Chain A
Amino acid sequence: MKKFRDLSLDDKVFHIAVFTILTIFFIIVLYPCIFVISASFSSGRAVQAGKVVLWPVDFSLEGYKTVFHTKNVWIGFRNSLFYTIVGTLINIVMTITAAYCLSRKDLPGRNGIMLLFTFTMFFNGGLIPSYILVQKLGILNTPFALLLPGAIGVYNLIVARTFLVNTIPSELLEASMIDGCSDIKYFIYVILPLSKSILAVLVLFYGVAHWNAYFNAMIYLHDKNLFPLTLFLREILMSTQIDPGTVQDPEMQARLQDMVAVIKYALIMVSVVPVLVIYPFVQKYFVKGVMIGSVKG
């Protein structure tokens, strides 16, 4: 702001307008977030009566207490954690391996293979043929139904390949080959240590996608013990009542009707916090990843 005084009148007006518009937008984005946080820390009665506007009213943790006493939330949390960790691991291994092979200019047929991958971005079998496939493979209603389909995201593959092509100097390959390094050894000892930043990007993209996914789980799983958190969230968030049977604490059951809203707010917080906790650590990689992607979007 130091140079603001030196600006011409036109520019002063312009910058004040920019500042105002952005601030309004900033508040529009931030306000609902603060509202949800405040509501989740308020008492059930205050929320139900619509008294919460900005700050918590009758500060209380009863929303969170009820959420943590709900069995399904724990089952969902455990399952989501499992799907996210194992699923992301599969994604990463498959994607970086394929990206490495397809980044090698001396691989005969690499453009053809790349084309096979890219084509699936624009054309796919759609809902029913995919469902029949999962059924025929016998992985319906098993964790594999969530882990295997989508093991490689083509967009992420392109991002990873672009990164490898642009950042790894080809002299490195020549030098390693002269030293008698095989293709697999080169991948493990040279490429992987140099790809930490792209791996971080992939972990973020895939991890968030797994954590947030619900549709595949909804169509492929019937067994409640396998449900990810999002499915239980959907059940609770989309209904106006909460089944008392799912809450284990009898004292809380009695007050449940008063608390429907505050429970929802607390649930929203519980499901968003894991992503937000990791976010600051990977934020710089995230922006970088989107930019790499945009080069060859």
Chain B
Amino acid sequence: MTNRTEALPGNNKKLSKRIVARWQLYLLLVLPILYLIVFSYVPMGGLVLAFKKYNAAKGIWGSQWVGLDNFRKFFSSYKSITVIKNTLTISLYSLVISFPIPIIFALLLNAMICDKYRKVIQTVTYIPYFISTVVMVGLVFQVLDSRNGLYGSLYHLMTGMPAANILADGRLFKHIYVWSGVWQTTGYSAIIYIAALTGVDQSLHEAAKIDGANRLQRMMYVDIPAILPTASIMLVLAVGNTMNLGYEKVLLMQNDLNLNYSEVISTYVYKVGLASGITNFSLSTAIGVFNSLVNFVLLTLANWVCKRLNGSGIF
């Protein structure tokens, strides 16, 4: 919004004049704002569905108000505990593994003395990021196939015995999910840290060298403090995404054998809402609202902790 002083009555004429002078800009903004209202804010209004019993004939607003019934229904179903537990397990595991690895990778890459080799590694490790989720999951399935995949072939080559089918074991689901994510995104996630590291003042390194610090010590006491602010913001964002687990990938990796370990809130929302035999729009929306709320609380909490610790957060 404009400054307070400009909104005062005495300045009104000036403001309106300034608005008229910029009419062409507002004209250009008509489509983007229309888009924003229709595709972002109208669906937000649709969230009221969580408190109603959806009736397709009457529409969202005409449907009957049922209060918290949909939420009660979700929490009393046996599924709720499973999906909440799976969501938390997989995302915390994912956070613990895939948050520090890009940082370590960036630090090592920054310390690499052979420039050409560093560039090659960097370029190659970006590539998996461009593989689509569908192909990525197909790739994981193929490579880990116990008969004709890379895993099966290598296992057979080394032990002479047929490999066990690790894709059918539900308990291994979270490992496959998280580590394939590490494989795909480490190079990409490291870019931000590499950018922060190239911004480190070289005189700090020179000074540390004169003081007799070796490269490892310089990494610990020069490089790491330099990327700490970036890292803490990335951590807040990652925590704020805890509940928005990559449902596209989870959905594709699900099968009947691992469903007990792989059903998470976001995929459950999809199944209840659109994919099961008897779809329930209201229940699905309610679960979605619950998910967003938990997420928002986590984000605010992480942001608060981060502000307390180092004085900067994302908002």
CA distance A14 to B214 in the complex (A): 9
- CB-defined contacts of A53 to chain B, threshold 8 Å: 150, 153-154, 157
- In the complex, B284 has a CB within 8 A of chain A: yes
| A4 CB to nearest B CB, Å | 7
Closest chain A residue, CB of each to CB of B21: A106
Instruction: Decide if B39 is an interface residue (CB 8 Å cutoff).
Output: yes
Bound-state CA distance A224–B145 (Å) is: 29
Knowing A22-B121, A36-B142, A271-B135 touch, does A129 contact B147 (C-beta < 8 A)?
A: no
Enumerate A96-131 residues with CB–CB distance to B below 8 Å. 97-98, 100-101, 104, 106-109, 111-113, 116-117, 120, 122-131
Within 8 A of A (CB), among B28-61: 28-29, 31-33, 35-36, 38-47, 49, 60
Task: Decide: A10 and B216 in contact? CB cutoff 8 A.
Answer: yes
A128 touches B288 (CB 8 A): yes
**B134-A230 in contact (CB<8A):** yes
**Bound CA–CA A3/B114 (angstroms):** 10
Is A125 a contact partner of B40 (Cβ separation < 8 A)? Answer: yes
Q: With A26-B121, A30-B124, A230-B134 as known contacts, state yes or no: A50 contacts B153, CB within 8 Å.
A: yes
Interface-facing stretch out of A164-172, A209-217, A249-257:
A209-217
With A1-B114, A30-B124, A131-B273: A233-B40 Cβ-Cβ less than 8 Å: no
Which residues of chain A are within 8 angstroms of B142 by Cβ–Cβ distance? 36, 39, 237, 261, 264-265, 268
Assess whether B143 is in contact with A32, with CB atoms less than 8 Å apart: yes
Establish whether residues A214 and B153, one from each chain, have CB atoms under 8 Å apart when the complex forms.
no
**Residues 279-304 of chain B, each 1 if its beta carbon lies under 8 Å from chain A, else 0:** 00100110011001000100100000
Q: Which residues of B contact A275 (CB under 8 A)?
A: 130-131
The answer to whether A291 touches B195, judged by C-beta atoms less than 8 angstroms apart, is yes
B252 neighbours in A (Cβ, 8 Å): 234, 238
Tell yes or no: A47 within 8 A of B by CB. Answer: yes
* Docked CA distance A214–B137 (Å): 13
Q: Closest chain A residue to B291 by CB distance?
A: A126
Task: Determine if B131 and A129 form an interchain contact, defined as CB atoms under 8 angstroms apart.
Answer: no
**Known contacts A107-B22, A133-B46; A279/B130 CB under 8 A:** yes
Among listed B76-84, B86-94, B104-112, B200-208, interface-contacting one: B104-112
Name the segment of A58-66, A67-75, A182-190, A193-201 touching the other chain. A182-190
Please give, as numbers and ranges, the residues of chain A lying within 8 Å of B128 by CB-CB distance: 29, 33
Check A123–B130 contact: CB distance below 8 A: no
Q: How far is the CA of A47 from the CA of B292 in the complex (A)?
A: 45
Known: A47-B148, A100-B28, A212-B133. A15 touches B44 (CB 8 A): no
Residues of B within 8 A of A1 (CB): 113-114
Q: Which of A249-297 contact B (CB under 8 A)?
A: 261, 264-265, 267-268, 271-272, 275-276, 279, 283, 286-287, 290-291, 294, 297
The digit string for A131-163, where 1 denotes a CB below 8 A from any CB of B, is: 111000100000000001111100000000000
Q: A50-B147, A53-B153, A126-B292 are in contact. Are A276 and B127 (CB under 8 A)?
A: yes
Residues of B within 8 A of A238 (CB): 137-138, 141, 252
B99 at the interface (CB under 8 A from A): no
Structural contact, A291 and B191, CB atoms closer than 8 A:
yes
Please name all residues of chain B whose beta carbon is closer than 8 Å to the beta carbon of A107 when the two chains form the complex.
22, 25
CA distance A195 to B149 in the complex (A): 46
A39 proximity list for chain B (CB < 8 A): 142
**Residues from 23 to 55 in A contacting B, C-beta threshold 8 Å:** 25-26, 28-33, 35-36, 39, 47-53
Pick the contact of A276 from B29, B38, B130, B138 — CB < 8 Å? B130
Please name all residues of chain A whose beta carbon is closer than 8 Å to the beta carbon of B2 when the two chains form the complex.
108-109, 111
| Known A-B contacts A94-B35, A127-B269, A133-B39; A297 and B233 likewise in contact (beta carbons under 8 Å) | yes
Complex: A113 Cα to B157 Cα, angstroms:
61
* A50 and B156 within 8 A (CB): yes
Given A125-B40, A183-B24, A261-B142, verify A214-B133 contact (CB < 8 Å).
yes
Contact A234 B134 (CB under 8 A): yes
Report the bound CA distance from A287 to B106 in whole Å: 14
Bound-state Cα–Cα, A52 to B252, Å = 26
Complex interface: chain A residues within 8 A of B187 (CB): 29
Chain B residues 226-246 with CB under 8 Å of chain A are 230, 233-234, 237, 240
Cβ-based interface call for B192 (8 A) = yes
How far, in Å, is A214 (CB) from chain B's closest CB? 5
Q: Are B42 and A261 in contact (CB under 8 A)?
A: no
Residues of B within 8 A of A219 (CB): 270, 274
In the bound complex, CA of A29 to CA of B145 (Å)? 18
Name the one of B22, B121, B147, B285 contacting A126, with C-beta atoms under 8 angstroms: B285
| A32 pairs with B32, CB closer than 8 A | no
A271 to B186, CA, bound (A): 22
User: Does B215 belong to the interface (CB within 8 Å)?
Assistant: yes
What's the least CB distance linking B136 to chain A, in Å?
9
A294 touches B111 (CB 8 A): no
3 A-B pairs with the lowest CB-CB distances in the bound complex, closest first: A125-B43, A129-B46, A237-B138
Given contacts A98-B28, A183-B28, 11 further A-B contacts (CB under 8 A): A25-B186, A29-B125, A48-B147, A50-B156, A53-B150, A116-B33, A125-B45, A126-B289, A126-B292, A128-B49, A132-B281
A: residues with CB less than 8 A from B are: 1, 3-4, 8, 10-11, 14-15, 18-19, 21-22, 25-26, 28-33, 35-36, 39, 47-53, 94, 97-98, 100-101, 104, 106-109, 111-113, 116-117, 120, 122-133, 137, 148-152, 182-184, 187, 208, 211-215, 219, 230, 233-234, 237-238, 261, 264-265, 267-268, 271-272, 275-276, 279, 283, 286-287, 290-291, 294, 297
Sample of 5 A–B contacts (CB below 8 Å)? A29-B183, A120-B36, A125-B47, A129-B45, A230-B132
